[in-house]
Structure 1
Amino acid sequence: MGKLKVLFHLNEPEKWQGTFSSIINFVKDVGQENADIEVVANGAAVSAFSEKCRIAGGSGETSTSCGKATGELYEEMNKLAQMGIRFVACRNALRMHSLDENMLPPFITVVPAGITEIAKKQAEGYAYIKT
């Protein structure tokens, strides 16, 4: 079996934990070596990438600019990124939420438009999963 290519898409910050669960379950089922996974965040979901979220999580509080993102959320993203899961943020959404892309964690790739990234990945044969 070749690698299964999957694109997870989310645009709501409260969907991150469910997305992580889906990714972990997928990898457990098919094996890390058989998975090629990308997570595309646009809309309000990009708030989870902000530095403010990491700082807020450290104090046990959640910043209003982060939706439900916390330091634990950042840590989970980082852990998955180390497993080879790619995280992509929409530049348009970052601008809309006044987030500086130069302040993002190093494992985040910024693309001009999340919707275009989704279309490209589907053209490359990625299965689309909206979370």
Structure 2
Amino acid sequence: MKMKAGILMIMAMMFFVSAQSQSSVNNKKYKIIIQMTNGDSSVHKGTIRQINNALTAAPNSKIEVVCHSAGINMLQTSKSTTLAQIKDLKSRGVVFAACANTIRERNIDKADIVGEAIIVPAGIIEVVDKETKGWAYLKAGN
């Protein structure tokens, strides 16, 4: 009988430690800046999946995706395959930023950029600025 009680006590402690560990991750507020320079829609979909996973694990996190170079395709209504997901993530607080330099250099009509996106003067400077403020950097794709 004492052995059963001991095993139950150990299991209860393991459950408590596991719950505490999970709770500490869920309550943390990470700041993540994602640089998107890849025009491949499968990379865009993978990035959306990663963002959803991050928000599930740590819902208080702040996430921004900066799209420039070929990555601007992710934010173009005429090219994006993730428009519904972008709208959903925007409603959950994710920021999508389009690079004004890329828009100009590629002669993209600003009306072709999803309404959920903000336009920043230079995508690379947006990334660097966030990094200097302590945001974790992730590069989407390869």
Is the CA contact 1:44–1:97 (under 8 Å) kept in the aligned structure 2?
no
Unmatched segments (≥5 aa) in structure 2: 1-26
State yes or no: 1:100 paired with 2:109: yes
State yes or no: 1:17 paired with 2:45: yes
Counterpart in the other structure of 2:62? 36
Counterpart in the other structure of 2:122? 113
The alignment partner of 1:18 has SS state of helix
State yes or no: 1:130 paired with 2:139: yes
Q: Distance in 1 between matches of 2:119 and 2:128?
A: 16
The alignment partner of 1:81 has SS state of helix
Amino acid at match of 1:22: Q
Is the CA contact 2:67–2:75 (under 8 Å) kept in the aligned structure 1?
no
Bigger CA radius of gyration: 2
Q: Distance in 1 between matches of 2:109 and 2:65?
A: 19
Map Cα deviations across residues 51-98 of structure 1 (whole Å, 9 max, x no partner): 323xxxxxxxxxxxxxxx33xx11111111111100001111112222
Give the TM-score normalised by structure 2: 0.73
Is the CA contact 1:12–1:43 (under 8 Å) kept in the aligned structure 2?
yes
Give the TM-score normalised by structure 1: 0.78
Is the CA contact 1:101–1:110 (under 8 Å) kept in the aligned structure 2?
no
Q: What is the deviation of 1:12?
A: 0.8
Counterpart in the other structure of 2:16? none
Is the CA contact 1:41–1:90 (under 8 Å) kept in the aligned structure 2?
yes
Give aligned-pair identity as a percent.
29
Q: Distance in 2 between matches of 1:104 and 1:92?
A: 13
Q: Distance in 2 between matches of 1:51 and 1:37?
A: 21
Counterpart in the other structure of 2:78? 52
RMSD value over aligned CA atoms? Answer: 1.5
Q: Distance in 2 between matches of 1:99 and 1:47?
A: 10
Aligned length: 112
